[in-house]
Amino acid sequence: MLQDKRILLIVGGGIAAFKALELIRRLRERGAHVRCVLTQAGAQFVTALSLQSLSEDKVYTDMFSLTDESEMGHIQLSRQADLLVVVPATANLMARMASGMADDLASTVLLATDKKVLIVPAMNVRMWTHAATQANLATLKARGVEVVGPVEGAMACNEFGLGRMVEPNDIVAAIEAALSPQARPLAGRRAIVTSGPTREAIDPVRYISNQSSGKQGHAIAAALARLGAETILVSGPVSQPDPVGVRMVKINTAQEMLAATLAALPADIAVCAAAVADWRVAQRPNAKIKKALYGPPPRFELVANPDILATISKGDVARPKLIVGFAAETEAMLDNAQAKRKRKGCDWIVANDVSPAMGTFGSDSNTVHLLSDAGIESWPTMTKVAVAEQLAQRIAQHFQQAAE
């Protein structure tokens, strides 16, 4: 897909710049030509010689170099590329891009280009969440700049949070997607995915939950994002990494999941893969319940949790155009799933057998059946990533057919 594509890689000044070296290798392995522009700040982190050795091309650093201008003017530099990629896109570089500055070679090239630009932000979490950076981000997105990341994680500054640059393989996937719009049939669509378990507190230290790992829901969110959908992932507590290119909303309880899902509307697509706890404890004490030495164990009155799938399918809300539920069944799977689809009012339901012998919760594979008005499709056992990929493709087909 990247064979003979020309990537102009603009290397900014951040600690994540070292990942640009790995990125060049990955792009070259795929047959892409990589030409680098190194900012003055970027040169504090990686050398022009390393970039040149890996890209096997000249590295451009100086706007006023007579030699460079006679060989390749700064306007030509961007015009000859298929895609401009900024790695890492620092807060400073983003601000300069947003305000249209042209005070060095990188910013001038970015202002002069008529080609698609992909930025890969990396910065301290507070810099990322600052209103100024978020406003610059919104400006750049509104101008058509594509953005991949950042993700949550440990940072070089010993802090933890959103701001860590995505890994080179994820940047390669984003570059491939940016260069082949036909691979993004869901571009312009908005999707909400629920994933993982919910936790319903019994007291401040105990809770009711289930064994959902979030693997299936997270894979679906990642697959929809890869197809171009603006994807919001509402997730209960899981240890899965945040999927790349997805907006995360992390919650604990079913009530919080409902509120986050409603806040994310309107959407074209909703996929409810979360294993939401059906009940919560009616009265929750503020202190830990003491174990009585003698006497019966405590009894709890349970009340029903809101049903997120049913609420968005039937409720007084902006109903997504396509709503996909999951049915976790241990017996009479297809009958129960069909009844659930009708009862909850969703368009499609993905039935999966969660009996202990199947080991569906937490494992990497799933055996599912897709139930819709068109009938029942039984898919072979696949990895959860493959199930997600196939489901996302089916969703894309649905919208393509609806548009024809």
Of residues 352, 370, 391, 395, which one binds ligand PMT by CB under 6 A? 352
Taking the least distance from each CB to ligand PMT, the nearer of 145 and 273 is 273
Cβ proximity to ligand PMT, 171 vs 346, nearer residue: 346
> Does residue number 273 form part of the binding site for ligand PMT (CB under 6 A)?
yes
- Considering only CA atoms, which of 287, 197, 291, 178 is closest in space to residue 235? 197
- Compare residues 154 and 339 and give the one whose CB is closer to ligand PMT: 339
**Smallest distance from the beta carbon of 369 to ligand PMT, in angstroms?**
12
Q: How far is the CB of 130 from ligand PMT (least distance, A)?
A: 34
Tokens representing residue 34 in the block: 């990589």
> Is residue 353 part of the contact set for ligand PMT (CB under 6 A)?
no
Near ligand PMT by CB under 6 A: residue from 340, 353, 389, 399: 340
Does residue 307 bind ligand PMT (CB under 6 A)? yes
Total site size for ligand PMT, rule CB under 6 A: 30
What's at 76, amino acid-wise? Q
Q: Positive or negative, the Cα torsion across 393, 395, 400, 401?
A: positive
Quick one: which of 37, 308, 385, 392 contacts ligand PMT (CB under 6 A)? 308
Task: Name the residue nearer to ligand PMT (CB basis): 20 or 349.
Answer: 349
Report the residue from 254, 260, 322, 388 that binds ligand PMT according to the rule CB under 6 A: 254
Residue 246, strand partner residues: 231
Helix (H, G, I), strand (E, B) or coil at 270: strand
Q: Single out the segment in contact with ligand PMT by CB under 6 A; choices: 44-52, 64-72, 173-181, 325-333.
A: 325-333
Distance CA 193, CA 248 (A): 10
The reply to whether 275 sits near ligand PMT by the rule CB under 6 A is yes
Identity of the residue, 14 or 217, whose beta carbon is nearer to ligand PMT in the bound complex: 217
- Closer by beta carbon to ligand PMT, 128 or else 361: 361
Return d(Cα 313, Cα 346) in angstroms, integer: 5
Q: Identify the residue among 107, 108, 136, 360 touching ligand PMT (CB under 6 A).
A: 360
d(CA 274, CA 359): 16
β-pair type (33-38, 83-89)? unpaired
- Token pair, residue 324, equals 């996909």
For residue 400, the minimal CB distance to ligand PMT (Å) is 24
Q: Find the binding residues for ligand PMT in span 162-201 (CB under 6 A).
A: 194
Q: Which residues contact 320 (CB under 8 A, 6 or more apart)?
A: 192, 265, 266, 267, 268, 269, 270, 312
For residues 9 and 182, the answer to whether their CB atoms sit within 8 Å is: no
395 binds ligand PMT (CB under 6 A): no
In the stretch 73-112, what mask flags binding to ligand PMT with x, by CB under 6 A? ----------------------------------------
Of the listed 36, 157, 272, 346, which one is catalytic?
157
Q: Is 341 in the site for ligand PMT (CB under 6 A)?
A: no
Asked if 369 interacts with ligand PMT (CB under 6 A), we say no
Helix 384-403 to helix 215-226 angle (10° resolution) is 40
Q: In this structure, how many other beta carbons lie within 10 angstroms of the beta carbon of residue 206?
A: 13
**Three-state SS string across 206-248, please?**
CEECCCCCCHHHHHHHHHHHHCCCEEEEEECCCCCCCCCCEEE
212 touching ligand PMT, by CB under 6 A: yes
Cα 175 to its chain centre, rounded Å, is 15
Output 54 or 275, the one with its CB closest to ligand PMT. Answer: 275
Q: Please list, in sequence order, all residues whose beta carbon lies within 8 angstroms of the beta carbon of residue 119, skipping any fewer than 6 positions away.
A: 85, 86, 89, 93, 94, 97, 140, 145, 146, 147, 148
For residue 157, indicate whether it is catalytic. yes
Cite the active site residues. Answer: 157
The residue ranges that bind ligand PMT (CB under 6 A) are: 194, 212-217, 254, 272-276, 278, 305, 307-309, 325-328, 340, 344, 352, 354, 360-362, 384
